[in-house]
Amino acid sequence: MKTIKLLAGYFLLATLMVSCYADVIIEDDFIEESAFNTDQVLQSFDLWYIDINATQGNGEVPFLQRAFTVSFDRGVLYANNNIVGIGKTGGGYGIDVGTYGTLRGIVDIDHDIDGRWALEVFAINRNTIELYDARGDTSYFLKGYQTNTFDYDMVFYDNINYLIQEYDAWEKIYTSDTGALNDFDDENYLQFLPNFFRSSLDMPGTSISNLQWDFEGDYEVYDVQGDNTLKALTLDYDFFNDDYFELYVINDSTIELYHPDSGTTYEFRGRGYQEYLKSAKGDDSKKRIKSSNPTMNVKRKKLK
């Protein structure tokens, strides 16, 4: 969080060739040589990943709090507000969410929902910038990537909690023949909300609006030590025993839950995709917050 900003200094753009997407080497702290140079920095990478856990300050820039990535492209601001579809929506850039212009060391953004924001632009290193909101005394830190080298899987697994919340419900579509009988065999729907989960015994094919939620409780997603592509999921039912699963992502609409206690594999498909475009639907629950999954020291039980 900046309390004193240096408004003098030099900004070096190295090897700016014909394309405005050429690599930019940033050496000084403050980007202020010209509006043109500021724009070149913002366009030097296809995507800027917002490291929400690095945010400093108690204020909030709503569209930065909501997005996983933003892109600055010739006056148009794009954002990936959903994990579902990331890497595919808008060719990887996401959706058009507003316009922007640049001044000396400032980006002036006119967001379709959140209105006008003048943010100071600071260089941290050759691929990291800080966007500072003076009104809220808050800094966001963005790391630049090109679309052809961006690790979408990394973003996917690092934000798995948001994926499971982006559908109104998850419908069970497969139960393996192997595995001992257990109570979870009868649960055909799951719903994950920010603070709790619900499950239903209703038959497959039931309309989401007609689902009767039979059980609810707390849930927790865990990172697994030494395995970046495996997550653990616990369901803490209010009036029953807990359930533990290994959580695998098949694609952005299908997840697999492996139940080690019974040896049963289940697949669930998302229904009722909540797309965060230019409306305030789910605004409060969708905003990202500083968080990290607890770590569980377990070994993968399901055979690859």
- Final residue of a structural domain among 120, 151, 182: 151
Q: Which of 7-16, 144-153, 172-181, 256-265 is least confident?
A: 7-16
Q: What digits encode the pLDDT tens for the residues 63-114?
A: 999 999 999 999 999 999 998 888 889 999 999 999 999 999 999 999 999 9
Q: Are 192 and 291 within one domain?
A: yes
Q: Are 201 and 147 within one domain?
A: no
Quick check: is 46 in a domain?
yes
Asked whether 225 and 231 are in contact (CB, 8 A), the reply is no
Q: How far apart are CA 72 and CA 79, in angstroms?
A: 9
Q: What digits encode the pLDDT tens for the residues 202-260?
A: 999 999 999 999 999 999 999 998 888 889 999 999 877 899 999 998 888 999 999 99
Q: Are 230 and 276 within one domain?
A: yes
| Residue 82 CB coordination number (10 Å) | 23
- pTM (2 decimals)? 0.76
Domains contained in the chain, number: 2
Residue 8's pLDDT band (cuts 50, 70, 90):
very low
Q: Are 172 and 144 within one domain?
A: no
Quick check: is 12 in a domain?
no
Q: Are 183 and 70 within one domain?
A: no
Asked whether 163 and 83 are in contact (CB, 8 A), the reply is yes
Q: Determine the structural domain holding residue 168 and report its residue range.
A: 159-296
Residue 67: give its domain's CATH number.
2.40.128
Quick check: is 2 in a domain?
no
Quick check: is 270 in a domain?
yes
